[in-house]
Amino acid sequence: MASWPAHLFLLLLCLVLLAGEATPQTAPPPSVDNSADKWARPGCRSKCGNVIIPYPFGIHNDSDPNSNCSRTPDFEINCTSDGTPYLGLGGNIEVVNIELLQGLLVVNHYIARDCYFQNGSRSKSNGASTNIIGLPNYKFSSDRNKFVAVGCDARGDIWSNRVSTFHTGCSSYCTNASFVPNGTCSGIGCCTTPIPMDLRNFSMIVYSYHNHSHCSFALCSYAFLADVDKLNFNLSSFTEYETREMAPLTLDWAIMGKTCEQANGTGDFACVSPNSFCWNSTNGPGYLCNCSEGFQGNPYLNDSINGCSDIDECSADKSPCVKWCHNREGSYYCSCPWYMYGDGRRDGSGCTSILRILYLSLGVGLSLFFLIAIGSLLYWIYKKRKLEELKQHFFEKNGGSLRPDIRLFSSEELEAASDNYNQTRILGEGGTGTVYRGVLPDQNLIAIKKAKISNDEAEVQQFINEVEVLSRINHRNVVKLLGCCLETQVPMLVYEFVPNGTLAHHVHGEGRRGSLSLEARLRISSEVAGSLSYLHSAASTPVIHRDVKTTNILLDHNLTAKVSDFGASRLVPLDQNGLVSLIRGTFGYLDPEYFQTGEFTDKSDVYSFGVVLVELLTGKKPVAKMQAVKNLATLFMECVNSGRLVEILEQRVVDEGTPELLDAAAELAMKCLSLNSHDRPLMREVAMELEALTRRTRIHPWGNVNVEEGDSLLSKVGSSSPSVLRDYVNSSIEPMVPFEIVR
């Protein structure tokens, strides 16, 4: 009697043989990527309303008539403001759909009608119609369209005599509604007749033999050219066409003028994509393009991405192979495992099992399999438990038990949102971490601040401090903290996504110099000042930012300012005026008094803001080599005190500002940059002054402003003279020694 391993071997062998038998199947056709952007010419609009506009068609651009979004003017699409596409710039042919690879264009077309009252008198009629396509690349499709007449006493005729004469028509009768068949157009209530090829224009007429006197339920006759695939005639069609003005018909289009043989090799050949081929139109002269077998895309685009690209037949949901699929350029091949034979194709012989598994190897293999499976399961459980313990450790270490009431993201959520922190998602990098753009499952954009791995507890504390500060702040000009992740070695912060980059990029970025108007600069500075005023005096617990600079000011799509990066910020108890700490900040923005004493107050933010205001007025970086090594604040104060203010201002600021306005803005900056913190204004005073200056730029964007309008709000508080030159001409300023503060 055979032992139990022999029985087990036979049972498993049968299962292997049964599982290995493959029934040949037809391979599913490769899907086509129909995303709109893939079909339009790069840089051109790809949709008008819900209609995809593929090249050689293109949407006309009124602001740039030479944009070349279409191959020729005949292929231009006029997209109206309500999102309706029309063929040609001045055309009235509404486009419904463009079938690029089939050379078809579905458009809406007028219906001719002839209606009567029950007494037999005519109620309304536009029974005659002439239809002409004035563009040379289009013809009425003889394969898809037929001439249709609808009615119970209707005669429709269609003819053309512009190129070659043809005349045809059909008649439709019915006396009882119950006789009308649904879904067919066979002569009872509806009739059709074909049209010839190469038809570019036609005239049609519809009329009644007996004025519908014997048909009370259908008192109108209709005639039109229609795509029969979209025609679904039934009894309700009699009333439907009473209010319906248009019916869809299909046009054949082609690249006119030449055949494939004549056009190939010329500079105007349309099939420019590699792996494309040309085929002659079946409806008159002209040719069309398509991708070769195994490729998909737009054959009219010479682009490796949007043109004809390789189809990956081995994708999981459409693999044509039974077992293993190997993609090739324009094709694929299949293979079978070592214990099977055949061509591996579903539409071929498939893969068939063979007997190659020996008795002993099967028993040993099964034993090893179970041992490995059990060991792998136990190891997975162990690793998962250790990972959960590590996450809990990091959660407690990063202040999870004392966290503010904000959303907690898991590390898996943020990895998925940032595509596993893909390098292409980086928005910015700093000394302590990197900011990534993320997309949540609900498609909302976020910014993820991921710290660099470090054993420095101070950096971890800096992230925790930013959570604590931002959780207490709710201001339109302060970047909003959406949540954080505390289960990683270093906590990660999640902010609202601010799409327009930093203020520094708009002021100093390559190609951006002079891109901001004076009004925008003053408005942005007013918004920043307002947010700092809120932090200093309106927040539940006052906050000192400690690192105000243009790289920490973000701009949204409306160029609205958002103050960010509160890692160095501190909450100040209401009974204290300042705090003492190690020097933290950025060279060029740092308050000299704070640098000397180590004590920072809200006036330290005022000084840093003054440097930001000077950056906006001059367009210069806070530290630059000009004659000698000086920072921008020192250089600006020297220019003002020596009466050379205009020399340091950016040209656009000078061009758009009045002398009084520029004098007031410079005076405000000088007050903020005072070396003695007691001489600097409060941020709320700065915000009020900038709001007033911003209003003046809106009221007087180019003209002069009288002295009464130009009075400085701050001059009424702490200055007797509105002139920057007179206030500071006698002040002595010590040049600051350059230094570097590493954050």
β-strand partners of 147: 193, 225
CA distance 330 to 335: 18
* Calpha distance 169→206 (Å, rounded): 10
Catalytic annotation present for 547: yes
Overall residue count recorded for the chain in this entry: 743
Q: What angle do CA 588, 592, 596 make, to 5 degrees?
A: 130
Cα separation, 461 vs 449, in Å, equals: 14
Tokens of 659: 């002398």
Radius of gyration of the chain (CA): 38
In whole angstroms, what is the distance from residue 516 CA to residue 506 CA?
A: 7
Percent helix, percent strand, percent coil in the chain, to nearest 5:
30, 25, 45
DSSP letter for 242, please: H
Task: Extract the tokens encoding 145.
Answer: 């369209």
Take residue 268 and report the two structure tokens written for it: 């105007």
DSSP-H helix ranges across 203-349: 237-243, 260-263
- Dihedral angle over CA of 399, 405, 411, 413, nearest 10: 180
493's enclosing H/E stretch is strand 492-496
- SS3 letters across 682-720: CHHHHHHHHHHHHHHHHHCCCCCCCCCCCCCHHHHHHCC
Closest CA to 548 of 507, 503, 482: 503
Burial of 155: CB neighbours in 10 Å, binned 0-12, 13-18, 19+: buried
> Kind and range of the H or E element at 48?
strand 47-48
Give ∠ CA 56-62-64 in degrees, rounded to 5: 75
Q: In angstroms, rounded to a whole number, what is the distance separating the alpha carbons of residues 481 and 466?
A: 9
Q: How far apart are CA 253 and CA 266, in angstroms?
A: 21
Integer CA distances (angstroms), 219 to 153, 154, 355, 621, 723, in order: 8, 10, 79, 81, 87
Token digits for 288?
């069309």
Pairing of strands 58-59, 623-626: unpaired
The count of other CB atoms within 10 Å of the CB of residue 224 is 27
Helix (H, G, I), strand (E, B) or coil at 67: coil
Token pair in block for residue 378: 């136990």
Q: From the candidates 547, 605, 663, 727, give the one annotated as an active-site residue.
A: 547
Cβ atoms of 436 and 428 within 8 Å: the answer is: no
Measure the CA–CA gap between 444 and 417, rounded to whole angstroms.
Answer: 10
Q: Quote the tokens at residue 64.
A: 């740039």
Name the residues annotated as catalytic: 547
